[in-house]
Structure 1
Amino acid sequence: MAPTIYKVTETGTKRTNMRKPVVEKMRRDRINRCIEQLKVLLKTEINASQPCGKLEKADILEMAVIHLKKSMRTNENAHAQSYADGLSRCIQETARFLSVHNQLQTTKFALMGHFNSTVQPKASEKVVCASAPKDSCQAVSKRAGEHALWRPW
C-alpha cells in the first residue's frame, strides 16, 4: 500500500477567528476614509463652527447631518417657490387667453374664482386641480406651514 500523507487543515471556526480582526480593520478603515471625505466636503461648516482644534468623528457626522437637514429645508422652500411661480404663470396665461376670447366670459369668471381660491387655500383645505379629469387628479391636503405639490399619480 502506498504511503498516505495527511494535510492538517484548520477548522472553520479557527479560520473565522483569524479573519475577524482583518475584516474589522477593513471596516474601520472604510469608515475613517468616509469621515475624512465628509470632513473635506464640509470644510466651510467645520471652519465656521470650530475654527481650530481637532474634531471627533461624532462631531463631523453631526455636522453632516445638520448640513443635510438645512439643505433639505432650503430645497423644500425652492420647490414651493417654483410651484407658486408656475401656478402664477399658468393663471396669467389663462387670464390672457380668456380675455382674447370674449364669448367665454362665464367660464372666465368661474375659472378665475377657482384659481383665486386655489392660490390662497386655508390650512386644512384640500387643493384640487381644475383641468384634469377627476379620476386622474389626486387631492393633496395641506397642513399648516407645509407646501405640498400636486401630482397626478
Structure 2
Amino acid sequence: MNPNHYLAAEIMAQTGRDPSALYRDLTRELGDPLYACLDTPATPEQKAIIQQLTPQHIQLAELAGEKILAVLTTAPGNGSPIGGLKVITEHGWFAARPSGTEAIYKIYAESFLGEDHLRRLQEEAQTLIAQACAALA
C-alpha cells in the first residue's frame, strides 16, 4: 500500500473529513501554492560561493515586496546544512543550491500569491545570488 494512503486514512480517522476537503479549506485560507525550479548557469567559483553563503551575506529586508522573515542555511528540523541558502517571506520562499553535477545552481521557489509573485521571487533570487557572488569573488 502507498504510504500516502495511510496518511489519508489517518487524516480521515482523526478529523472525520476527506483530505481533499481539508486541502481545499487550506488553499482557500492560505492561497494556492505554486512551485517552480529554475536552473541558472554558474561557474565552479560561483557554486562554491553559493554553498558557503550565510545569513549575514543577505542584506535585504524585503523579497518580492514582502518582509524577509528568515534566512536559513540549515534545516530547521535537524540542523543539517542545506548546501545553500533559503529565504522565507510570509507568502513565499526560495532556496538556492549549487548542482553537484552540472555547471548551474538551482533556485527552488514557492508562492502562495500567484504566478507574478513566483516570478518575482525567482528574479529577485537570481539578482541576490549574483550580487553575493560578485561581492565575495
What's the TM-score, normalizing by structure 1? Answer: 0.20
Higher relative contact order (CA closer than 8 Å, sequence separation 6+)? 2
What's the TM-score, normalizing by structure 2? Answer: 0.22
Instruction: Name the structure where helix makes up a greater proportion of residues.
Output: 1
Q: Which structure's CA Rg is the greater one?
A: 1
Instruction: Name the structure where strand makes up a greater proportion of residues.
Output: 2
